[in-house]
Copies of this chain bind each other. A is one copy, B any other.
Amino acid sequence: MGPLQYNNELIQKYSNLTRSINEEYINIHPIQRGGILTSEAFKALISYGDGYSICDNCLKGRIDKIENPPVVDFLKDMAKFLNIDNTMLTAAARESKRLVMEVLSKKFPKRKTVIIDSLAHYTTYLAIESNNLKVREVPNSGEPEFEIKSEDYEKIINQVIKEEKEKPLLVLLTHVDYKYGNYIDPKPIGKICQKYGIPFLLNAAYSGGILPIDCKDNNIDFIACSGHKSMAASGPIGLVGFKDEFYNDIMVNSKIEGNVSSKSFPNKICTVMGCPPVYGAPLITLMASFPSVVKRTQKEFVEDESKKANFVIESIKNIKGIKVLGKLPKVHPLTNLETTSFLEIAESHPRKGFFIREEFKERGIIGILPGISKEMKYSTYGLTWDQIHHFKKSFIEIAEKYNLI
């Protein structure tokens, strides 16, 4: 392997990194819908594109203490928005989950089990694994609804206490799951956690910024949010919200001291490595979109989004070989379809499983997983009603083309 050459080939390879596709198409991929920038965020992005742009007026060496732009205010407003005592920035929601488990492991070293719903995102499992903890899943009801029953949480808590002679370390609920978009009410689970004195973490990566959340009312001790997934931020950027009770566990000041220099850094928060990695574009876009996010989580807008999702479902659910999975009616617009008929078509189609993606792309719709025809996941979040009608019409057209209606 020779040294890397600076030449035309190199320049060519990394030139034209544009995503023009996104301007001409509707992207229905569920990880994309909630992270589309508002125009305010887009403007802020252009101003704050450079690496450490947000640190121009950092006077205290801490991102959470910057007053211009108003980061201090923002963290307080965000806490108010989620109705929890404190919020801190993290690299992403997955990092918030990892961090909560890490600090609880230190606080309760004998507790080793994290109880999670069986619809949890893979990063929930990885957070458990990277903290050397044990996972205990709350089952779901299986096809077609995949429902989680809150009373099962109590059963499993009791099992863990009986088997391990210790409480579980943490109960985690996926507020809206990545797979079926099921919305679960945290309230009864919060009550159970309170009864047993077990910390309760809500993974709101898909919901915080899309649905209203009241942590106090639901006895939520910790909340993990995602700016790029559901708060119209560039990012990646996450948030961890936490009760005052856990303030000193999350916000741990550094204690290390240089053995020669005697240097120390008591002002720096050790748990987030000083400043969490969100210095420029991620944080400024999250802040710029915040008023719109507050607005869009108000009742009327949330209801309109559910309406859109359910409207599409009503229109396509009778297509031959299409089955809607997950609970209905939808609260959150992430939708999962079992598409047996598409799978059958794919078997003899010259483009195999890719045909369905291509049929939609021809109609200006992208975000469908390539090569997969047995199921389809999409989110209608934030589409205009015109786009909703176009999506529905395209779906029907494709179904007609393949004689499924």
Contacts and interface: CB of A to CB of B under 8 A. Distances in A.
Interface of A: 1, 3-4, 6, 10-11, 13-15, 17-22, 27, 29, 31-32, 34-37, 40-53, 55-57, 59, 69-70, 73-74, 77, 80-81, 83, 91-92, 94-95, 98, 118, 122-123, 125-130, 135-139, 227-229, 233-238, 254-261, 263, 265, 268, 270-271, 273-274, 277-282, 284-285, 287-288, 290-291, 294-295, 298, 366-367, 370-371
Given A15-B40, A20-B47, A258-B118, A268 B56 contact: no
10 contacts: A17-B43, A51-B228, A51-B229, A51-B235, A129-B254, A130-B271, A139-B261, A228-B280, A235-B280, A277-B277
A204 to B, nearest CB: 15
Given A11-B291, A51-B31, A280-B235, A123 B260 contact: no
Contacts of A138: 260
Contacts of A41: 49
A67 to B, nearest CB: 12
A371 B126 CA distance: 45
A-B pairs, 4 with minimum CB distance = A35-B51, A51-B228, A236-B277, A91-B277
A384 to B, nearest CB: 17
Given A36-B50, A277-B92, A259 B123 contact: no
A260 B139 contact: yes
A285 B22 CA distance: 17
Contacts of A135: 256-259
Nearest to A282: B236
Nearest to A265: B122
Contacts of A20: 47
Given A98-B273, A236-B278, A52 B228 contact: yes
A165 to B, nearest CB: 19
A287 B370 CA distance: 24
Nearest to A235: B51
B92 A294 contact: no
A17 B129 CA distance: 39
A335 to B, nearest CB: 18
A70 B13 contact: yes
A285 B49 contact: yes
Contacts of A13: 70, 73, 77, 291
Contact of A370 (B22, B59, B126): B59
A42 B18 CA distance: 11
A16 to B, nearest CB: 8
Given A49-B285, A136-B259, A260-B118, A273 B94 contact: yes
Contacts of A95: 91, 273, 277
A80 B129 contact: no
Given A4-B77, A258-B118, A273-B94, A19 B32 contact: no
Given A17-B287, A22-B50, A273-B123, A295 B6 contact: yes
Contacts of A288: 14-15, 17
